[in-house]
Amino acid sequence: MTRRLVSLAIFLAAASALPQDVPKWTAPEADRLRQNPIASSGDVVKRGKALFLKHCASCHGQAGRGDGPAAAYGIVTPRDLTAPAVQARLTDGEIFWKLSTGWRIGNDVVMPAGQEKIGKESDRWAVVHFVRSLRPQ
């Protein structure tokens, strides 16, 4: 019971510190228009999934639903990457840009910059292919 109260207190403190106007997080147009230069294959998606599970699942969850164990502690709720509207709205280039550059609001890291942990561009593009594989069939 005490652990739940502590978790709730941390969550409420983080929520009260949430900026009034969370800025939109939009990739520059040139980045939005980028095409994935890596052809999709089972091996590429598998590599992207392994990297996603290692670097992204703590917030986005293992299935990409935004329900990872660290999701409740952020100042912005992670996106459900399986949602049809999210999949339709985001281009491959925008996913790559967001994954690469990350997002900060002031001094708070909303999403870490993936290029620091996933140094190879081809690996980040593989993560994009994995994210695309999360689309509902």
SS3 119: coil
The reported pLDDT for the residue numbered 136 is: 86
Nearest 5 degrees, angle CA 126-CA 47-CA 82? Answer: 65
Q: Which of 121, 128, 103, 118 is nearest to 49 (CA)?
A: 128
SS3 66: coil
Q: How confident is the model at residue 132 (pLDDT cuts 50, 70, 90)?
A: very high
CB 129 within 8 A of CB 46: no
Locate tokens 């999403």: which residue? 111
The two tokens of residue 75 are 């100042």
> Which CATH superfamily is 28-133 part of?
Cytochrome c-like domain (1.10.760.10)
Mean pLDDT of all residues in 50-57:
97
The reported pLDDT for the residue numbered 37 is: 98
First to last CA, the chain: 40
Q: How confident is the model at residue 119 (pLDDT cuts 50, 70, 90)?
A: very high
The reported pLDDT for the residue numbered 20 is: 54
